[in-house]
Amino acid sequence: MEILEVTLVNVLLRCPLKDIARFRSVSKEWKTLIDSDFFRDLYISFNSSSSTSWSIIQTNPHKLTLEIVGHHGCERWGLSRSPGSLVSFFVETTITKINVLACTDGLVTICAESSDGSPMYYIGNPLLQEWFRLPQPPFRNFERLRKNERFSESGLVTKMEKGVVVSYKVVWLLTHEGKVQFMIYSSDTGMWGRQFVTCHHTATWSGQDKSLALNGFLHWLSNLTSSIIAYDFFGGHNGVDGGCHIVPFPGKDDELRRFRRTFTTSEGSIVYFNEFRVNGNRTLRVWRLVKYTDIGPEDQWQLFWEVSLVSLIELGIDYFPVVMHPLKSEIVYLWSRSNNGLILFNLRTKVFSLHKEAEDARKCMDGCVLSFNQCREYMRDIYRYFLSSVQTGPNHLYFTQYVFPLWLHHLPRPNPT
């Protein structure tokens, strides 16, 4: 590598990704350098500790508000706008409602409802403003199934190579008469297909709603058992039982938990956390999922935080769980009902900060600027769901995380035929 090129690399390594994206158009030589595996790997390694923009997205159709909490002004991308503000695109008709169906690895699937009530489905990379309208599945009775809410359209999984999304699958789950099947749109083929599931636990799929994606798996919160349903969409199982896993939640002192079960993601793992009251002491326990194989919850989950909540209790803070920080597993997000604000609690230092929607945007624990968008209204609508004394009705995932990718990647397109 020549001296001038070494100097250029050292300068580029210190630039946010929004500038790197623009620098690709400076010259052919700059584009070749930036697009090289060498520079990508070096940039990701050099900036491994830098903060990254992300959002907490609500998963219920709720007016036109998608992002309820945003983190921007972070080091890696250097954007002055929150991630949710980038979820915008041109459509040929008036939209009355928008619902984020799924977010993973920088991609988003959206259902936009037109003024006549008909749905339009999109997948996109909001950072690069690349959007693609998904064709309607060419299946018999699809419209009748949609109107009768017989399927869940919330699945999106990706295949990653060297930190870049190379393909994706949009997954819709259909349960009918005890049978389970997936309707799958693949970016590799540009076509929809069907995949029948022969998992022995088909009853646990009943009434599934939202899902969370991680490492090619989709994860659902079971309505019939105290478990997570996980399915591997890039494992080559072709619908046999090997792709389906039932993961019971950790059972230790479960009868003493305070909140209804839910799960989230953090640092590349599925994470479950809840408050427990044992011998008069209130503690927050956090587990990460380490194995999918059906060997029992004690071996599938690893307890990696057990922290006293004395500092919160002494202030009289009543709360319910929201999410873990997606990139920093020592930070948990809680909603304070008594203070109408978001608590960021560092499990390592036991330090917390309270952020309210009416306050001016300010930096939080991860170095990003925190902003809100009708968050208080949304939390007020859902808080009763998490109370253990009101655990009736189906289970739901009320939050998902939209995290900016660690590197530039375009929306994958079908391979040319």
- What is the mean predicted confidence (pLDDT) over 184-202? 82
Q: What pLDDT does 188 receive?
A: 92
- Please state the pTM of the whole predicted model: 0.88
| CA-to-CA dists, residue 270 to 217, 254, 266, 286, 303, angstroms | 11, 19, 7, 11, 12
Q: Are 92 and 112 in contact (CB under 8 A)?
A: no
**Cβ-count burial of 51 within 10 angstroms (0-12 exposed, 13-18 middle, 19+ buried)?**
buried
Residue among 254, 197, 187 nearest 220 (CA)? 197
| Rounded Cα distance, 411 and 117, in Å | 28
| Rounded Cα distance, 135 and 233, in Å | 21
Q: Strand, coil or helix: what is 32? A: helix
- What is the mean predicted confidence (pLDDT) over 84-95? 68
Lowest model confidence (mean pLDDT) among 112-121, 181-190, 405-414: 112-121
Q: Strand, coil or helix: what is 306? A: strand
Q: What does the chain come to in residues? A: 417
Q: Beta strands 244-248 and 264-266: pairing type?
A: unpaired
**DSSP letters spanning 220-244:** EE-SSSSEEEEEESSS--TTSGGGE
**DSSP letters spanning 130-192:** EEEEPPPP--TTHHHHHHTT-EEEEEEEEEEETTEEEEEEEEEEEEETTEEEEEEEETTTTEE
Q: Give, for 218, the enclosing helix (H) or strand (E).
A: strand 217-221
Lowest model confidence (mean pLDDT) among 112-121, 231-240, 379-388: 231-240
Lowest model confidence (mean pLDDT) among 44-53, 203-212, 310-319, 341-350: 203-212
The 151-161 sheet, strands edge to edge:
151-161, 164-176, 179-186, 191-197
190 φψ region: left (φ > 0), alpha (ψ -120 to 50), beta (else): left
Q: Strand, coil or helix: what is 367? A: coil
Predicted confidence (pLDDT) per residue in 245-273, tens digit: 888 898 777 778 888 888 999 999 999 99
pLDDT at 240 over 50: no
Highest mean pLDDT pick, 44-53, 127-136, 228-237? 127-136
| Rounded Cα distance, 204 and 352, in Å | 38
More confident site: 81 or 397: 397
Q: Categorize the per-residue pLDDT at 72 as very low, low, confident or very high, splitting at 50, 70 and 90.
A: confident
Predicted confidence (pLDDT) per residue in 311-323, tens digit: 887 667 788 899 9
| Rounded Cα distance, 273 and 257, in Å | 10
Alpha-helical segments (H) within 224-365:
297-300, 310-313
Q: Categorize the per-residue pLDDT at 59 as very low, low, confident or very high, splitting at 50, 70 and 90.
A: confident
Q: What pLDDT does 200 receive?
A: 57
Q: What pLDDT does 293 receive?
A: 78
More confident site: 373 or 147: 373
Predicted confidence (pLDDT) per residue in 274-306, tens digit: 999 888 888 999 999 999 876 766 789 999 999
Q: Are 181 and 196 in contact (CB under 8 A)?
A: yes
